[in-house]
């Protein structure tokens, strides 16, 4: 947790980090010392991203001094070769702000990736967790939101301080990274493919590099109606559904919401192959946001790439969806006691 709070310090606030009181504590405790250096290193690197070349250099040196960079150099070896002047605005910003974690080609293999408790997203899979639609890729608004508020409980910080126009350029550029190489057998097959960027040949096999945003498209957002009044009855209905046979959130999140339901085993993995656990709803951050609308979307759309399913069809009644939203909020301690 401590490391996260340091790593989350981004641009500019680096001075807040230096004067932070936790530093003294960290340095007095040898067990966490290494992690403190690591956090400091990444913190400085992040400050460096915002123009402070010196801070970036210090961060780099801190990491090297701890042997971190030396051990994991391979990650994002392929450097961009396009000369600086030709780089689009979004690409430049991406290089400055995102490459350290997401890697040059968006494969989630940036230099800092190996140090993070939750790995940065590999964009090339075309799977995004926090979206408002069921079909296809996330909307621009979904991606803009991720950039604006960040992902709570992870090292993906909020970039609200980056002007909106620049965030839009970042989103535009990010979408060009969502590409997949597909084997093609014939010219006819190639003609049928949408979003082909280039065709390359590898070991005698023709591969079409396809942009998934163009191939799969972006589905319409689920419309979220205005939340009904929060009542004791609605919360009680939510509690019932949570444990019911048909909905059964408890099988994963556990009867008390601690993420310890009977369906959970130690090998539960996400689509990127990383170990994952259902969220402990009582204590862990909601990555996609804790407003009723956010929780509604997570329940209706699910969290793609993870075992958290979409309950769209199992919960046809709006009222039941909100009942579960409110009950989830109750478990998470997000609603005032007088309503419960
Ligand atoms: C310090 C590391 C770090 C940096 C820098 C960083 N990210 Fe991330 N990012 C992450 C992590 C970690 C995740 C995955 C969180 C998860 O899986 O819950 C993530 C996930 C994402 C996602 C996926 C959201 C989804 O719905 O699945 C997007 C989009 C994203 N980052 C964009 C960016 C952009 C654009 C930048 C630069 C402005 C950036 N990130 C900089 C660590 C970082
Ligand atoms: C098959 C297992 C499974 C079931 C059933 C399930 N979940 Fe989840 N849930 C998960 C996993 C796994 C995550 C964590 C995903 C991640 O870390 O990205 C999660 C995350 C969540 C989150 C956190 C959202 C966020 O923004 O971080 C909420 C809220 C949630 N689930 C609510 C529910 C509710 C309510 C139900 C029942 C309607 C339910 N879940 C059913 C596996 C499940």
Question: Going by CA atoms, what residue is nearest to atom 13 of ligand 1?
Answer: 120
Contacts of 314 (CB under 8 A, 6+ apart): 246, 247
pLDDT at 228 over 80: yes
What is the Å distance from ligand 1's center to 106 Cα? 10
pLDDT at 255 over 80: yes
Ligand 2 neighbourhood includes 263 CB (under 6 angstroms): yes
pTM, two decimal places:
0.80
Question: Going by CA atoms, what residue is nearest to atom 42 of ligand 2?
Answer: 308
Among 223, 200, 220, 222, smallest CA distance to 210 is for: 200
Question: Going by CA atoms, what residue is nearest to atom 29 of ligand 2?
Answer: 295
pLDDT at 249 over 60: yes
Domain parsing of the chain, residue ranges: 1-71, 81-221, 232-331
CATH code, residues 232-331: 1.10.760.10
Alpha-helix runs per DSSP H in the chain = 2-8, 14-19, 22-28, 30-49, 53-65, 68-71, 89-97, 99-102, 140-149, 164-176, 187-192, 212-216, 232-243, 250-253, 292-301, 318-331
Ligand 1 neighbourhood includes 91 CB (under 6 angstroms): no
pLDDT above 90 as % of the chain: 66
Closest atom, ligand 2, to C-alpha of 249: 37
| Residue 131 buriedness (CB in 10 A; 0-12 / 13-18 / 19+) | buried
Residues comprising the chain, all counted: 340
Ligand 2 neighbourhood includes 254 CB (under 6 angstroms): no
pLDDT at 32 over 60: no
Ligand 1 neighbourhood includes 177 CB (under 6 angstroms): no
Whole-number Å distance between alpha carbons of 61 and 46: 13
- What average pLDDT is seen over the chain? 82
Ligand 2 neighbourhood includes 299 CB (under 6 angstroms): yes
Ligand 2 neighbourhood includes 154 CB (under 6 angstroms): no
Closest atom, ligand 2, to C-alpha of 270: 12
Torsional sign, CA 114, 137, 206, 198? negative
Least reliable range by pLDDT among 44-53, 62-71, 106-115? 62-71
Ligand 2 neighbourhood includes 238 CB (under 6 angstroms): no
What is the Å distance from ligand 2's center to 277 Cα? 9
Q: What average pLDDT does this structure show over 156-180?
A: 95
Closest atom, ligand 2, to C-alpha of 294: 26
Q: What is the pLDDT of residue 28?
A: 37
pLDDT tens, residue by residue, 279-299: 999 999 999 999 999 999 999
pLDDT tens, residue by residue, 188-214: 999 989 899 899 888 989 999 999 999
Torsional sign, CA 256, 257, 262, 266? negative
Own/partner pairs, 289-294, CB within 8 angstroms, 24+ separation: 289/149, 289/152, 290/152, 290/329, 290/332, 290/334, 292/227, 292/322, 292/325, 292/326, 292/329, 293/224, 293/227
Ligand 1 neighbourhood includes 211 CB (under 6 angstroms): no
Strand order of the β-sheet with 205-211 is 179-184, 205-211, 196-202
Among 197, 218, 206, 211, smallest CA distance to 131 is for: 218
Nearest ligand to the C-alpha atom of residue 108? 1
Q: 208 - beta bridge partners? A: 182, 199
Ligand 1 neighbourhood includes 137 CB (under 6 angstroms): no
pLDDT tens, residue by residue, 103-153: 999 999 999 999 998 999 999 999 999 999 999 999 999 999 999 999 999
What is the Å distance from ligand 1's center to 282 Cα? 24
Q: Which of 235, 295, 303 to mutate to test the pocket of ligand 2 (most atoms within 8 A of CB)?
A: 303
Least reliable range by pLDDT among 11-15, 220-224, 263-267? 11-15
The fold for domain 81-221 equals Cytochrome Bc1 Complex; Chain D, domain 2 (1.10.760)
pLDDT tens, residue by residue, 67-104: 344 333 333 444 444 444 444 899 999 999 999 999 99
Q: What is the pLDDT of residue 39?
A: 53
Q: What is the pLDDT of residue 23?
A: 39
């Amino acid at each position: 947790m401590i490391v996260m709070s340091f790593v989350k310090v981004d641009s500019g606030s680096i001075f807040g980090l230096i004067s932070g009181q936790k530093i003294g504590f960290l340095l007095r405790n040898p067990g966490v010392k290494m992690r403190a250096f690591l956090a400091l290193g990444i913190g400085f690197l992040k400050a460096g991203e915002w123009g402070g070349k010196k801070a970036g250099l210090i961060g780099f040196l801190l990491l090297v001094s701890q042997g971190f960079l030396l051990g994991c150099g391979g990650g994002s070896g392929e450097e961009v070769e396009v000369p600086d002047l030709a780089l689009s605005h979004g690409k430049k910003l991406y290089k400055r702000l995102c490459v350290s974690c997401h890697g040059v080609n968006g494969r989630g293999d940036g230099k800092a990736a190996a140090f993070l408790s939750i790995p940065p997203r590999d964009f090339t899979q075309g799977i995004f967790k926090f979206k408002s639609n069921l079909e296809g890729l996330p909307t621009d608004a979904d991606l803009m939101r991720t950039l604006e508020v960040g992902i709570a409980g992870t090292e993906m910080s909020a970039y609200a301080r980056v002007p909106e126009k620049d965030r839009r350029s970042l989103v535009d550029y990010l979408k060009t990274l969502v590409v997949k190489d597909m084997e093609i057998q014939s010219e006819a097959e190639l003609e049928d493919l949408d979003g082909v960027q280039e065709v390359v040949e590898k070991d005698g096999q023709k591969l079409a590099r396809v942009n998934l945003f163009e191939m799969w498209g972006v589905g319409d957002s689920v419309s979220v109606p205005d939340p009904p009044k929060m009542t004791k009855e609605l919360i009680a209905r939510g509690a019932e559904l949570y444990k019911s046979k048909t909905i059964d959130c408890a099988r994963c999140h556990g009867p008390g919401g601690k993420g310890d339901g009977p369906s959970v085993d130690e090998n539960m993995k996400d689509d990127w192959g990383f170990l994952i656990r259902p969220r402990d709803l009582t204590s862990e951050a909601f990555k996609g946001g804790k407003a009723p609308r956010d929780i509604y979307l997570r329940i209706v759309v699910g969290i793609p790439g993870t075992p958290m399913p979409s309950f769209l069809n199992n919960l046809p009644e709006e009222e039941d969806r909100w009942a579960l939203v409110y009950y989830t909020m109750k478990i998470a301690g997000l609603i005032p006691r007088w309503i419960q």
